[in-house]
Structure 1
Amino acid sequence: MTAGFISISWEQLLIALGLVSVSGAVSLYYQLKLEKDLAVGVVRTFVQLLAMGYLLKILFGLNNAFLVLGLYAVMTLFSVHIVHGRVKQKGIPYLLPTTTAVLFSYTLITILVTKLVIGTTPWWDPQYFIPIGGMVAGNSMNSLALTLERFFSELKSRRAEVEMMLCHGADYREATADIFRNALRAGMIPAINSLMGVGLVSLPGMMTGQILAGADPEEAVRYQIVVMFMLVASTALSSIIVLLLVRRRSFSPAMTLLVK
C-alpha cells in the first residue's frame, strides 16, 4: 500500500473472479449456452491486460517515440479488426475505408488532446498518449460498428426506394441522404447519451481510477471532462469519414447498388 493507493493482491483478484460466477450460474440455469464465451472472455481479460501492463512498464522505461507509436498503431488496427468482425457485409470492400477513418480520426484527436489540451512534452509521452489513444479507440470503435451496421441494414431494407430514386435521376448521394443521416445519428447517439448521464448516473472509468489512485477529485473531474469531449469528437469524425468513403463503394460505376 502506498499513500492514497491500496494494492490488489493475486488472492484478491481471485476473489473478484468469483463475481463472474454469477453470470456463469445465470447462463447455466437458463441454458443460455454462454459459459464458453464467458470462460474465454475471462482468460483473455487476464492475459491481455497482464501482457499490456508489463509492456507499458517496459515502454515507460524506454520512452521511445517509435515504440509508443508502434504500440498505438497495433491498438488502432485491432479496433479495425473488431469492427470488421462485428459488421457482416459481403460485396462491399469497407475494410480500407474503416482503416483510413480510424487511423486519421483517432490519431488526430489523440494528438490534439495530448499536445494542446493536456500539454504533454513530448506529445507522444507514453504515460498519456497510450491511455488516451486506447480510450479513443476502445469507445469509438463501438460507435463505428453501429454506424456501419445501420448504414448497410438500411441499404438492404430500403433497396427498392434507393433504386427507384436512382432510376429517376438521383445520384448516390441523393438516393442515400436519409440513410446516411440515420446511420450517422445511430453512431453518435451513444456518445451523446453518455454526456447526459455522466456524473449523475455513472462515474466514468478514468475519473474513478484517478480517485482510487489518490488524485484530487477536482483534478480527476477535469481529466474526465476532456475524455468525454474527445470521445464525442472522435465518434463524430470517424463515423462521418467512414460513411463518406463507404457510401460511394456501395455503388458500382453504373450506379448499381452492391449491398447483398
Structure 2
Amino acid sequence: MNPAVPTWAGVAASLALVLLAVLVAWRQRLHLARDIAIAAVRAGVQLAAVGAILVFVFRHTGLAGGVGWLALMVLIAGRVSAHRAFGMPRALPIATTAAAVGTAATLGTLLLFGVIDSQARVVIPVGGMVVSGAMQATTLVLVRLRDEARTARPAIEARLALGLPAADAFAPHLRSTLRTALIPAIDSTKTVGLISLPGAMTGLILAGVDPLTAIRYQIVVMYMLLAAAALAALTAARLAERALFDDAHRLRPLPAADPDEARR
C-alpha cells in the first residue's frame, strides 16, 4: 500500500474536519450547518460511485470509453452553466457548445501531437480538468453578458438607434466580459507554484514521481487550461451575442431576475 494514500479509516477520520465546520456554522448561526453536512455526504457518495465506474472504464474500455465519459462531463457542465445564466436566451445549447469546443480543441491537440497518452486513465482526469476550466469561463461569460444586457440596455439601444449594427452596439460589453472571464485563468497561470502546488503536480508527487517530471506535466496542464478557458469564453460570447439580438438587430427582452433572486 502506498503510504502517501489515505486508508478508508483515514478517510473516515477526516470526517472530524467536516464536523468542525458544521460546529462553527452552527455556533455562529450561519444557517449553513445542514448544507455543509449534505455537501460532505454528497461528495463522498458521488466520488465513491465515480471511482467504482472508473475502475470498470479503465479496465474494459479504451479511448472510446474516455471520450464517452468526457462527453457526459460536457453535458453536465453545460447544464450547470445554463442554470447560472438563467434568463440568457438559448443558454443550454450555448453553454454546452462552448464547453465542448474548449475541451475538444485543447485535448484533441494534445492527443494529436502525442503530448498525453490516449489511455482512458489519462484522458479522463486530464479532460476533466479541461471541462471544469471551460465551464467556469463559460459561466462567467454568460452571467456577465446577461447582466450587461439588462443594466446597459439604454446605452445599447441608443447605439442601435444611431444605426450601429448589433455587433458594434454590443462590442464594448463583449470585450469587457471576455477580459473579466479570462482573469481567473490568467492569474492562476501567472501564480502557479508560488501560491499553491496545483492538483496534477501534487498528485504525481504523492504518487512518487520525480518533481521535475511532475512540473513538466503541470506546465502542459496549465497551458491547456488557459487555452480551454479562452476558447470556451470566446465561443460562449459570440453565440450569446447572436442569441441576445433578433434578426432585426433588436435586443431581446430578458427576465428581471433569476428564480433564486426572485425568492429572496
Aligned partner of residue 218 in structure 2, secondary structure: helix
**Contact kept in structure 2, 1:83 and 1:141, CA below 8 Å:** yes
**Contact kept in structure 2, 1:152 and 1:259, CA below 8 Å:** no
Q: Equivalent residue for 2:90?
A: 93
Aligned partner of residue 14 in structure 2, secondary structure: helix
Q: Distance in 1 between matches of 2:133 and 2:25?
A: 27
One-letter amino acid matched to 2:100: L
**Which sections of structure 2, spanning at least 5 residues, go unmatched?**
255-264
Shift of 1:115: 3.4
Q: Distance in 2 between matches of 1:119 and 1:84?
A: 31
Aligned partner of residue 88 in structure 1, secondary structure: coil
Shift of 1:156: 1.0
Alignment of 1:202-221 (within 5 A): 202-221=196-215
One-letter amino acid matched to 1:77: L
From 72, 78, 88, the equivalent of 2:70 is 72
Question: How many percent identity over aligned positions?
Answer: 34
Task: Pick which of 174-183 and 103-112 moved more.
Answer: 103-112
Count of matched residue positions in the alignment of Structure 1 and Structure 2? 254
Q: Equivalent residue for 1:24?
A: 22
Aligned partner of residue 176 in structure 1, secondary structure: helix
TM-score (norm 1): 0.92
Cα deviation digits, residues 34-82 of structure 1 (max 9, x gap): 2222122112211111111111111111133332222111111111111
From 84, 98, 105, the equivalent of 1:108 is 105
Q: Distance in 1 between matches of 2:85 and 2:28?
A: 28
**Which sections of structure 1, spanning at least 5 residues, go unmatched?**
none
**Contact kept in structure 2, 1:144 and 1:239, CA below 8 Å:** yes
Q: Distance in 1 between matches of 2:131 and 2:116?
A: 21
One-letter amino acid matched to 2:38: V
Shift of 1:204: 0.5
Task: Pick which of 15-24 and 43-52 moved more.
Answer: 15-24
Cα deviation digits, residues 132-152 of structure 1 (max 9, x gap): 110001222112111111111
Cα distance change, pair 81–206 in 1 and its aligned pair in 2 (3 A): same
**Contact kept in structure 2, 1:252 and 1:258, CA below 8 Å:** yes
From 242, 252, 256, the equivalent of 1:248 is 242
Q: Distance in 1 between matches of 2:116 and 2:200?
A: 18
Q: Distance in 2 between matches of 1:43 and 1:154?
A: 37
Q: Distance in 2 between matches of 1:213 and 1:54?
A: 20
**Contact kept in structure 1, 2:77 and 2:96, CA below 8 Å:** no
Q: Distance in 2 between matches of 1:211 and 1:65?
A: 26
One-letter amino acid matched to 1:221: I
Aligned partner of residue 232 in structure 2, secondary structure: helix
One-letter amino acid matched to 2:177: A
Q: Distance in 2 between matches of 1:171 and 1:59?
A: 50
Q: Equivalent residue for 1:40?
A: 38
Aligned partner of residue 245 in structure 1, secondary structure: helix
Q: Distance in 2 between matches of 1:253 and 1:36?
A: 48
Q: Equivalent residue for 2:258?
A: none
